[in-house]
Each structure stands twice: as C-alpha cells, then as structure tokens.
Amino acid sequence: MADRDRAGRSGAGRGGRAARAAVGLSAWLLALTGCTAPGPEGPARAEVQRLLDRRAEALLTRDEAGYLAALDPALALAARTEFGRLAKLPLGGWTYRVTDVDPAGAGRAVAEAELGYRVEGYDSAPATTRRIVDLAERDGRWYVTGDRAAEGAPQQLWQQGEVSAVTGRRSLVLGVGQPPERLREIADAADRAVPAVGAAWPVPWAGRIVVLVPASVDAMGRLLGAPAASYRGIAAVTTGETGGGRPAPADRVIVNPDAYGVLGGFGRQFVLTHETTHVATRRQTTAATPVWLSEGFADWVAYRGTGRTPAEAAPELAREVRSGRLPAALPDDGAFAFGGDADTMARAYEGGWLACALIADRWGEEKLTAFYRAVGAHPGREGAVEKALADVLGTTPEEFTAGWRRYLEERLG
C-alpha cells in the first residue's frame, strides 16, 4: 500500500501498522562540483544524480572528508554531526534516484529525488522516501542549499538526536533519548517474539526485526509523519509496504515509549509479538486482505500459547455479548481506524482475533495460515474472502459469519 498501513490498538497492548517507513538527510549545503557553466534552465538531472551518488558513496565508505567536501563552512558542524550519527548505523545501502529538476527563478532550481537505504543484515529491500533538493547558482557554480522531506514524508530517527543501538540475537533496537536498559529490554522481548511468530507462521521471512524507540510520543508522530495525538494510546506500530509477491520491503516497528512504558511484562511481550507478526506476514498481506484478518491474525499469534482465555483477552466484546448485543457481522476496516472510538476499536480487534481463533479451532492452524495466504493472493478485495472461504475452508461467508457469532456466544457468553 502506498499510504500508511492499517493501524492497531491502544494501551492495553495492541499495536498495528502504520504508514510507509522512510529515511533521509537533514538540510546540508554542498557544491555541485565538476559542472559546466549552467544554462538558464539550471543543472541537468544527470549532474545532480552524479553529485548525490558521490555523497552516498562517501557515507557508505565512512569517508567523512568526501561527505563534507565543498560544504559551506557555516554548515559543516551540523553536517559532521549527522554524518557521525549515520556512520554508527550498519548501513548496507544508501542511494538516490533523481526524478526531476525544475528551474525556480533566476539562479535557482529544485530537484526531486527518491532516497532509499538498507540496514545490513535486516532489510531485504530498501526503505524509501521522497526528497526535495534546493539548488542555487553562485559565481557560475551550482550549490545544494537544502535537502528536505517532500510533503507528507516523515522525519528520521537520527534527525531527532544521538542514536543508541542495541543488537539482539534476532533484532536491532535503535533509540534516541532512551536509557540502555530500556533498549535492552525491548531487544530481549523482540528476540522472544521472532521464534514465537516463526512457530505460528511457517512461511519463509527474514526472521529479524528493526525496532525504533523515539524519545516521546511527539517524536513518534514525527517519525510517522502524522499528528502525535493519533498515537498517544498506541503502544507500537509497524511501518512498511504490503507485499503481493514482491520482495518484502524494509519494515520498522516504532515503539511509543509513553504507552509502552506503562504496560506490564505480558503487555510488552504481546505488543512486540503482534508487531513482529506484521513484519513476517508482510509479503502475503495485500490490498485484498481485510483488516479483521491481518490484525486478528497478529493477535492470534501473540495470544497463542499464553493461556489467556477469551473472556480475559476480549473484555469489551464479552460485555456486549453478555448484554445481548451480539455483533451481526465481522468488523469492517473503519472500525480499526486511529482516532475513532476506543471501545469500538477494541471490540473490532477482539472480533478479528476470535474469527482467527475459530478457524484455528475448527479447521486447524495450517488451514488458518493457508486461508490468510489465499486471501492475500487474490487480485483485489472484491471476492477475496469469499473465494478463500470456499477453496480453503469449504464454507460460505454466511455460514462462516453464523459460526463466528455462535463461537462468540460459546466463548464469551
């Protein structure tokens, strides 16, 4: 999906997916060396591309002098600080692709570029973002006077402060303004989550996750390019693109330190396992996948083997059922939206989880994963669930919904 991925639940330990993850450099100033005298229409796209290629190579080879070459002295200190932060990260790739260069008045131009990067050992494809590069001409030479995020693109973690890294057996946790013991605790939880997900999802995936821990929920909002108020009760989200047969792109689990910090041990582990499930199932989660299935399956994996009863795990839906308000249908996508009614969202997650639990109980866990994959493999949303119900489970939407409603009464009544 091009937009923010489906999102999850709140402080009780629920998480979800969110917007497309992306990275980029902050403002810096450097000379576009090696260029001939420009014409009135500004530098050629190829000239800008060569400059950005040299910058990327200098970063990957940890060549500070090359990275800072021809910088305006006034900005050298800030650029050196950012280079130092980036140089500490295990970068396996950093590339720019210039897509357009337009004149912006006398002696000025604006370039558009896509920036992509990979964390070595964790990303099978780069995280990407759109950048706007401002250029100005002085004394017959063009200079880059700004490198900023395109409209709607998020801020990056290293732009928020010095980054600390903790490497787990199956995780990399990057934090800003966080004590080392908090990052280590998150890495330990992530290391437990990965094999738990692998046991429930027998489909090849990277088996490793990258977790970002900003200093506050406000900083989290900037990482997601969205208002912080949307995430105040959300313990964590996962960013990335849904799959559909392509190599799984770079996913990031972003922790809200405020909401995550008030959870107990079970809640924290639940959050990391839920989010890790989204990373593992990314390639099989497409536009055809309803949110009740993607979020319900992540909850099913996170609760699997914990011994939690339906009444304990679905208190909001249990109250509705016991009051005689049995839902008529599976929750639609809108019930999972950020910023909506918290009780409605909680019941939506609980209903999705119990739908997946029903499939696992009645048809078996292998059928549940086969159903998930079959839905995601469909060319579009229309007919996807209906076809998978018939092909994998041998039932119809009407029969499945009726069975799910009976299951709610049996488990929650």
Element of type H or E holding 165: strand 163-167
Whether residues 99 and 215 fall in one domain: no
pLDDT given at position 74: 63
- R_g of the chain, CA atoms, integer Å: 24
Residue-wise pLDDT for 83-126, tens only, equals: 999 998 999 999 999 999 999 888 888 999 999 999 999 988 88
Residue-wise pLDDT for 133-145, tens only, equals: 888 777 777 777 7
Whether residues 233 and 306 fall in one domain: no
pLDDT given at position 9: 39
Last residue of a domain, one of 284, 304, 326: 284
* 3-class secondary structure, 101: strand
Q: What is the CATH number of the domain that holds 66?
A: 3.10.450.50
Residue-wise pLDDT for 258-290, tens only, equals: 999 999 999 999 999 999 999 999 999 999 999
User: Which residues, 6 or more positions from 39, have their beta carbon under 8 angstroms from its beta carbon?
Assistant: none
Q: What is the CATH number of the domain that holds 272?
A: 3.30.2010.30
pLDDT given at position 73: 63
Whether residues 149 and 209 fall in one domain: no
| Cα–Cα distance list, 287 to 290, 335, 369, 396 (Å) | 8, 17, 17, 21
| For the ranges 6-15, 166-175, 218-227, the one whose mean pLDDT is highest | 166-175
Q: For 288-303, b where at least 16 C-beta lie within 10 A, e where not — what string?
A: bbbbbbbbbbbbbbbb
User: Which residues, 6 or more positions from 139, have their beta carbon under 8 angstroms from its beta carbon?
Assistant: none
Whether residues 82 and 175 fall in one domain: no
Euclidean distance between CA atoms 335 and 241, whole angstroms? 21
> pLDDT confidence of 403, banded at 50, 70, 90?
very high
Residue-wise pLDDT for 298-352, tens only, equals: 999 999 999 999 999 999 999 999 999 999 999 999 999 877 788 999 999 999 9
Phi, psi of 374 (to 5 degrees): -65, -40
Query: Does 212 have pLDDT greater than 80?
Result: yes
- Any bridge partners for residue 260, and if so which? none
pLDDT given at position 137: 79
Mean pLDDT of the region 157-169: 94
User: Tokens 């910090």 map to which residue?
Assistant: 261
Return the amino acid letter for 29: L
* 3-class secondary structure, 260: helix
**Structural domains of the chain, count:** 3
pLDDT higher at 211 or 37: 211
* 3-class secondary structure, 254: strand
Element of type H or E holding 279: helix 265-280
Whether residues 114 and 222 fall in one domain: no
Contact present, 313 and 304 (Cβ < 8 Å): no
Whether residues 225 and 335 fall in one domain: no
Range of the domain at 362: 286-413
> pLDDT confidence of 13, banded at 50, 70, 90?
very low
Euclidean distance between CA atoms 358 and 400, whole angstroms? 9
Whether residues 279 and 327 fall in one domain: no
pLDDT given at position 4: 37
Token code pair at residue 258: 């405020």
